[in-house]
A and B are shown apart, each in its own frame.
Chain A
């Protein structure tokens, strides 16, 4: 079945450091890929998405490129801020399977210190 694997946290960084969170996936069809973010005490919010191979999603300085050859969708940000401290979830939606169902990774906690 479909699955998502992302790097374990917590990831602790200093402000202005470069952030990478690795995400790889397994899917039988051609999934759409997503990054969701969960700030402390809040619900899940869509950060960015990509719907086909080589697409790049971007938002709030974050980027991720849909790499079909390596089945990856790594999240990157060039200079993090304290306000980026949150839990980040990689997810896929395989339209060939369940209609719109999201399959999530376990989440990666990111802690940014001043």
Chain B
């Protein structure tokens, strides 16, 4: 069974530029998560989707971050404009729809903002 796919794996941009990350969850997983992992810290949830609806986006900086999950499968996370403090690894995870189900993580996208 294929795992969670993410692209790109690495991205370097200048501050104030925009960037987008893509995630393809495990087939059949209705729940999709985006986490931000800053160096030396644990991952922090940015947004959680159930199918194509948002369940939790309380930690998403909505003035610059946006995410969508059209058709309830793939998802895109965008940052516009980027700031230096956005340098981090962006992790996508997916799980079955039931609460408490195991989350499976993708390899992450490492973003460096200069």
Contact = CB atoms under 8 A, between A and B. Distances in A.
Interface in A56-114: 89, 91, 93, 95, 98-102, 104-107
Contact of B103 (A4, A95, A99, A102): A102
23 contacts: A32-B100, A36-B105, A42-B107, A43-B105, A43-B106, A43-B107, A44-B93, A46-B102, A89-B43, A98-B45, A98-B48, A98-B55, A99-B50, A99-B56, A100-B31, A100-B95, A100-B99, A101-B33, A101-B48, A102-B33, A102-B45, A106-B41, A107-B41
Nearest to B59: A101
Contacts of B93: 44
A45 interface: yes
Contacts of A98: 45, 48, 55-56
B100 A51 contact: yes
A37 to B, nearest CB: 11
